[in-house]
Chains A and B, each alone.
Chain A
Amino acid sequence: MLSIALMVAKDLRRRLRAPVGLIVMLIFPLVFAGMVGMAFGPSSGSGSGLPVVTILMVDHDEDLLSGVLQNATGNEEFSRQFDMVWIEEEDEARLMMENGEASALLILPENFTSDLLDGKPVTLVLIKNPAQSILPQVVEEMAGLLGVFLDTSVRILGEPLLAISETFEGVEDDSSLFPDNQVLVALTLQAAARIRPISRYVFPPAMVFDTVSEDDVTLATLLEASPADTVDDLRSRQAALAGDEELSDAAGDDDEFNIFAVLLPMVSLMSILFMGDNGMRDLLAEEKAGTLTRQFASPAGVGRVLAGKIILTLVICCAAMLILAVVGMALGWISTSISLVGSVLQVGAIALAATGMSSFIYGFARTDRAAATFQSALVMGMSMLGGSMVPYRQMPAFLQAVAPYTINYWGIRGLTDLTFRGLGAADVLQEAGVLLLIGALGITVGWWRLSRRYALGTKA
């Protein structure tokens, strides 16, 4: 055992003297998760993973359609995602934009309603905040949709809308001008007559927008939802997932969606699988340098040398995950109150699975090039299918069926249970068990192949 410890200590010291490769592998998941996470905001009260988009609105029209727009954007559902700030003076709005107080400024021009109803060209002015990248794009897309919607509405409902506009003209100042019931019914019938011919294209709608509350379905479940899922599907899946347990607030403060708690495990898994290669690849490096043969000639022999490399790989993977977890906690990406026992179990299982995969690969690969090709193909394939690149539920059904055959699937499932859902050790037993089995199998096959290869002889 002492000689194995000596070998592991020696190899760790060698890595500390030339740490660039490992540092790059460690930085990769942090940078990647950071970039993606920051693009969508670390967390927000909107409950969707996107921060609230602030839009300044200047209304030079002050007529029917701008009023409708103002009322429509004031509803609760809309305001959870967009903060519409109506500013009276355009200069003031432009100054706020210069100060970076909003993602975009949308200006409704004078005679917006009348020009639209008269079929004249109307120009909406949109000023985007250049300091932001994604959110102004969201506003631009929304403004584009608004244009299409208004155009279509005016084409279909132009006459009734014009009639409504004329009927209600001056009502604000003189209530006696309010139309009687007969006029209102006539206006309604006129609008209904316009809608009826197109009703078979509009009803039932091709797309249904439904709202589920966080009490019913957590965002973790939504993230894993496939396009074919209905709200009821999500609700029943959530119920099955939650069981009788209360979800703790470990995923983030006040049950807010913390995108990093999902992203970091996803990307880390891919990185750890690549790191597993670093330990076992040393066999080929030492074989090339002659130090492997020299160790075989020592009393340590083949068995202890192989054990040393396997333990080294395990230590590297565990240390990498520990560092990622500590940095994740320091950055506030992972809650500090996650289950310690569960984390140790899951981290150990992932490290063993990564070691097993690497042992398996080096059991068959005899050259650096063969190993690198095999390793890259396997890690990238498993990362794609197992959810390290995109949540696996976003993939086609036949690919989803493959996901459970990957290390990433079980690793990410267990880690997000701990970091995101705030579950405990008992809840990751299945994931850890599968990973331990994969690891044990890989190590056994790798050991058998490697010890057989080296027992056949190595020349001095």
Chain B
Amino acid sequence: MIRVDDLRKNYGQNKAVDGISFHAGTGEIFGLLGPNGAGKTTTISIISGLLEATSGTVMVNGQAMSPTASTVKKSMGVVPQETALYEELTARENLRFWGGLYDMSGARLRERVGEVLALIGLSDRADDAVKTYSGGMKRRLNLGLGLIHEPQVLLLDEPTVGVDPQARLSILDVIRAAARKGTTVLYTTHYMQEAEELCHRLAILDHGKILAEGTVDELKKMVGEGEIVTVRGNFTAQQMHRALEGHPHVRTVSLEDRQAVLAVTGDGGSARLLQDLLGQALEVDGVNVRPPSLEQVFIKLTGRDLRD
């Protein structure tokens, strides 16, 4: 379990982390979502004991975290953003070394190395030098090193950056499996879809502050938009504009000839909108209804796109 209270980290006048608080429970995958420079890596560096906070507290499994808290560090696995591996060594040697640093040895270490190799799908390449691996294989091994000592808390800093879709799915599966076994996972990412798919709860971070926190559904409801409806057909923008007049729960996202994108709130709002449009003799060829995405939530909260 991780509990962070009023955490601050200043670099001179620059507030990299500005009073954030959150907690992640046992077996929970908690995501920190935000653009580059939002303060995600600084937060995870403080939690992993690499940086000292200017103020605030970090408790891991009830114990205060600091750069010298080796007992706390022993219960944590850290997976950094870059593939921090020894390229001259094999996957097995890498795993054995990192296991050894966490006081594992003998038969237990050998057994666990085998388990992790199987988990990350590298058993058949276990004795090849890492420098011969593909990018995806290195990413999987990078994750495996964080899991070798069966940590109670796993900190992952954008572990899927630059990997192919197949390797990404494999990595997300391993993380879900770890959480199912009771590991608390703190996951930073700037991929909206990944955060939606993986995290039980999320905090949206920008300029060192948490802007919103909750489950994906809770966050989506925060912005007050129900569904996104895209209407295509043989109509002009002017005809559509007239047809939408007087609809209290519809907001126009974009409108042009033959296509309109509309945000609809309220239960059954989308169905009522369609009935009205058809009732006004608009020629509609197709309709697409989907729930709002985290991206829209982020734009609503920060006023800018995550990629900006």
A221 on the interface (CB 8 Å rule)? no
B98 on the interface (CB 8 Å rule)? yes
Residues of B within 8 A of A18 (CB): 88
Q: Bound state CA distance, A290 and B98, in angstroms?
A: 14
B97 on the interface (CB 8 Å rule)? yes
* CB-contact partner of A6 in B74, B76, B97, under 8 A: B97
Q: Are B83 and A460 in contact (CB under 8 A)?
A: no
* CB-contact partner of B89 in A10, A300, A460, under 8 A: A10
* CB-contact partner of B100 in A6, A14, A457, A458, under 8 A: A6
A-side interface residues, number (CB < 8 Å): 27
Interface flags, A277-302, vs B, CB<8A=1, else 0: 00000000000011101111111111
Interface flags, B197-214, vs A, CB<8A=1, else 0: 000000000000000000
Q: Bound state CA distance, A3 and B78, in angstroms?
A: 18
B80 on the interface (CB 8 Å rule)? yes
Residues of B within 8 A of A300 (CB): 70, 101
Q: Bound state CA distance, A299 and B86, in angstroms?
A: 19
Q: Bound state CA distance, A432 and B234, in angstroms?
A: 94
Residues of B within 8 A of A452 (CB): none
Q: Are A291 and B86 in contact (CB under 8 A)?
A: yes
* CB-contact partner of A301 in B41, B52, B67, under 8 A: B67
Quick one: closest B residue to A294, CB to CB?
B84
A17 on the interface (CB 8 Å rule)? yes
Given A291-B86, A458-B45, A460-B78; A3-B100 close (CB under 8 Å): yes
Q: Bound state CA distance, A1 and B85, in angstroms?
A: 22
Given A459-B45, A460-B157; A299-B51 close (CB under 8 Å): no
* CB-contact partner of B101 in A6, A14, A457, A459, under 8 A: A6
Quick one: closest A residue to B145, CB to CB?
A294
Residues of B within 8 A of A299 (CB): 70-71, 73-74, 101-103
B119 on the interface (CB 8 Å rule)? no
A455 on the interface (CB 8 Å rule)? yes
Q: Are B84 and A14 in contact (CB under 8 A)?
A: no
* CB-contact partner of A460 in B48, B67, B86, B103, under 8 A: B48
- Which chain A residues numbered 260 to 318 have a C-beta less than 8 Å away from chain B? 289-291, 293-302
Quick one: closest B residue to A17, CB to CB?
B88
Quick one: closest B residue to A14, CB to CB?
B88
B174 on the interface (CB 8 Å rule)? no
Give me the interface of B with A, judged by CB distance under 8 Å.
Answer: 41-42, 44-45, 48-52, 67-68, 70-71, 73-74, 76, 78, 80-89, 93, 97-98, 100-103, 129, 145, 155, 157
Told that A13-B88, A17-B88, A297-B48 touch, could you supply 17 new A-B pairs with CB distance under 8 A? A2-B100, A6-B101, A10-B89, A289-B85, A290-B81, A290-B84, A293-B84, A294-B84, A296-B49, A299-B70, A299-B71, A300-B101, A457-B51, A457-B52, A459-B50, A459-B51, A460-B80
